[in-house]
Amino acid sequence: MERKTQIHAVDGKQEIRITREFDLPLTLLFKAYEEAALIEQWMGTTVIKLDNKRHGSYQFETTDPVGNKHPFSGTIHAFNPNHSIIRTFEMENSSFGPQLEFLEFEAIDEDRSRLSMHVLYRSVEVRDEILQLPFAQGINMAHNRLQKIFNR
Amino acid sequence: MNLRRDVFQAIADPTRRAILLLVASQSMTAGAIAANFDTARPTVSKHLQILTECELLEQEQNGREIVYHFNAKKMKAVADFIEPFRNLWEDRFNKLEAVMKKYKSSKK
Assign A84 a pLDDT band (cuts: 50, 70, 90).
very high
Chain B CB contacts of A43 below 8 Å: 92, 95
Where on the phi/psi map is residue A10: left (φ > 0), alpha (ψ -120 to 50), or beta? beta
CB contact under 8 A, A135 and B90: no
How far is residue B15's CA from residue B49's CA, in Å, rounded to a whole number? 13
* Predicted confidence (pLDDT) at residue A133 exceeds the cutoff of 70: no
**pLDDT value at residue A32:** 96
Pairing of strands A15-22, A46-50: unpaired
CATH of the domain at B15: 1.10.10.10
Does residue B65 sit within a domain? yes
CB contact under 8 A, B85 and A131: yes
Q: How far is CA A47 from CA A57, A62, A115, in A?
A: 12, 9, 22
Chain A CB contacts of B84 below 8 Å: 134-136
Secondary structure class of A146 (helix, strand, coil): helix
Q: What is the pLDDT of residues A39-78, one digit of tens each?
A: 999 999 999 999 999 999 999 999 877 888 999 999 999 9
Query: Higher model confidence: residue A137 or residue A124?
Result: A124
The verdict on A8 touching B (C-beta cutoff 8 Å) is yes
Q: What are phi and psi of A130, to 5 degrees?
A: -65, -40
CB contact under 8 A, A5 and B6: no
Assign A135 a pLDDT band (cuts: 50, 70, 90).
very low
**pLDDT value at residue B107:** 77
Q: What is the pLDDT of residues B49-63, one digit of tens each?
A: 999 988 889 999 988
Does residue B2 sit within a domain? no
Does residue B1 sit within a domain? no
**pLDDT value at residue B8:** 66
Looking at residue B83, the DSSP 8-state letter turns out to be H
Chain A CB contacts of B12 below 8 Å: 8, 10
**pLDDT value at residue A138:** 35
Q: The domain containing residue B88 runs over which residues?
A: 7-107
Count how many domains chain B has. 1
Q: How many CA atoms lie less than 13 Å away from A126 in the CB half-sphere?
A: 16
Mark A89-122 as b/e (b = at least 16 C-beta within 10 Å): bebeebebebbbbbbebeeeeeeebebbbbbebe
**pLDDT value at residue B4:** 46
